[in-house]
């Protein structure tokens, strides 16, 4: 214990402020217009593709690209074919070399269409044949893709009547078909404006706006066995929120969450959840955080958490980069900004002894 404590003190002296945190950045190239409710996903070639959104006056249908192979550079994407209608609150995921866009709204229509975009030929495809029962249009849902089996799993959202959903939809990218899911287990409460990630075959859902309250629960779903699973949570969950954004960091083995809102209060925090241990982990603040906002979009460009746009009452168009600090490693060398007590424990769980169950 004393040796670990001494090592942490030395780390704090020699490494403080050098191992991650927020970085102010202004990408080169023509920046997209300010927006929120857009989508962002990782495309082959170290690119983030941003589609659609709302600028406070107009719904958008443009496609922009942020390249991060060497620095950060914005560019417009010249495409072939007809782009899907302008919208916000949709989802976009990439399977192979194809981006799939589903749902969203233009304030009047809630879309139930699936659009494909080839990242190789830069071609939109909105007229292909899809089999199966087409779902009800929705916005504010989440979508993850299980690349191993080629399935997109969609959860929750709001339909045109305003009713919140807790149903699951599955789309087979191999056969372009909607597939009946019929899950077992107890589904989490209906919600919208939540976020979700997938780790292996397991989808994790966090937060969102429920029927009467804002949520901060975590739900766990087996996408292969089609079963909602119980989960025991360790540590102190972050404040309830909706309109946040999240992405999964393979290098950290953690879900990274940014921003959101609750009761008119916007958040600027980064939260970290360890799916393997079911634990909320300490996330130190180093540097100047991106301003508080909701309805941004994000990716992980390993190791960086890249966030674009959002709203704080007005549409935003800036980019924030958060380089995660691993305060949960057993070695304190990588945990310079952890407190000495946390380092001596070898873990930075917010409350190591607390636990709760979310089903």
Q: How confident is the model at residue 326 (pLDDT cuts 50, 70, 90)?
A: low
**Residue 4, pLDDT score:** 37
pLDDT digits (tens, 9 = 90+) for 121-156: 999 999 999 999 999 999 999 999 999 999 999 999
d(CA 6, CA 347): 16
**Residue 251, pLDDT score:** 86
What is the set of domains in the chain, with CATH numbers? 1-19+325-359 (no CATH), 32-323 (2.120.10.80)
CA-nearest of 60, 65, 79, 89 to 118 is 79
pTM: 0.88
Helix (H) or strand (E) holding 142: strand 142-146
Q: Which residues pair with 228 in a beta bridge?
A: 221
Average pLDDT on 308-336 reads 76
pLDDT digits (tens, 9 = 90+) for 14-57: 223 334 689 889 999 999 999 999 999 999 999 999 999 999 99
d(CA 124, CA 44): 16
> Do residues 218 and 230 lie in contact, with contact meaning Cβ atoms separated by under 8 Å?
no
CA-nearest of 300, 296, 321, 297 to 310 is 296
**Residue 252, pLDDT score:** 87
Task: Report the mean per-residue pLDDT for the chain.
Answer: 88
CA-nearest of 226, 229, 227 to 218 is 229
**Residue 305, pLDDT score:** 96
Q: What percent of the chain has pLDDT over 90?
A: 80
Evaluate if residue 345 carries a pLDDT over 70.
Answer: no
pLDDT digits (tens, 9 = 90+) for 254-290: 999 999 999 999 999 999 999 999 999 878 788 899 9
């Amino acid at each position: 214990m004393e040796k670990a404590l001494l090592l942490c003190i030395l780390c704090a002296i020699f490494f403080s402020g050098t191992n991650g945190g927020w970085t102010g950045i202004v990408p080169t190239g023509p920046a997209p217009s300010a927006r929120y409710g857009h989508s962002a996903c990782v495309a082959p070639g170290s690119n983030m593709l941003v589609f659609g959104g709302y600028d406070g006056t107009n719904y958008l249908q443009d496609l922009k690209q942020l390249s991060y192979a060497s620095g950060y550079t914005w560019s417009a994407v010249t495409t072939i074919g007809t782009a899907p209608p302008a919208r916000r609150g949709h989802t976009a995921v990439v399977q192979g070399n194809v981006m799939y866009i589903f749902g969203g709204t233009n304030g009047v229509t809630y879309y139930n269409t699936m659009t494909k975009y080839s990242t190789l030929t830069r071609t939109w495809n909105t007229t292909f044949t899809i089999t199966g029962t087409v779902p009800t249009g929705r916005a504010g849902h989440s979508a993850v893709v299980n690349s191993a089996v080629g399935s997109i799993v969609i959860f929750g959202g709001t339909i045109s009547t305003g009713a919140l959903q807790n149903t699951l939809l599955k789309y087979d990218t191999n056969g372009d078909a909607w597939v009946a899911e019929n899950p077992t287990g107890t589904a989490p409460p209906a919600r919208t404006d939540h976020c979700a990630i997938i780790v292996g075959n397991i989808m994790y859902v966090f937060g969102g706006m429920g029927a009467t309250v804002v949520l901060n629960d975590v739900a766990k779903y087996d996408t292969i066995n089609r079963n909602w699973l119980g989960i025991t949570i360790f540590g102190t969950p972050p404040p309830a929120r909706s309109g946040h954004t999240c992405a999964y960091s393979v290098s950290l083995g953690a879900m990274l969450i940014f921003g959101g809102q609750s009761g008119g209060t916007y958040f600027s925090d980064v939260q970290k959840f360890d799916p393997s241990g079911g634990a909320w982990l300490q996330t130190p603040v180093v540097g100047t955080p991106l301003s508080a906002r909701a309805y941004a979009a994000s990716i992980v460009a390993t190791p960086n958490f890249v966030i674009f746009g959002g709203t704080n009452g007005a549409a935003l168009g800036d980019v924030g980069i958060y380089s995660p600090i691993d305060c949960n490693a057993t070695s304190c060398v990588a945990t310079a900004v952890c407190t000495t007590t946390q380092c001596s424990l070898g873990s930075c769980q917010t409350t190591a002894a607390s636990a709760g169950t979310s089903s």
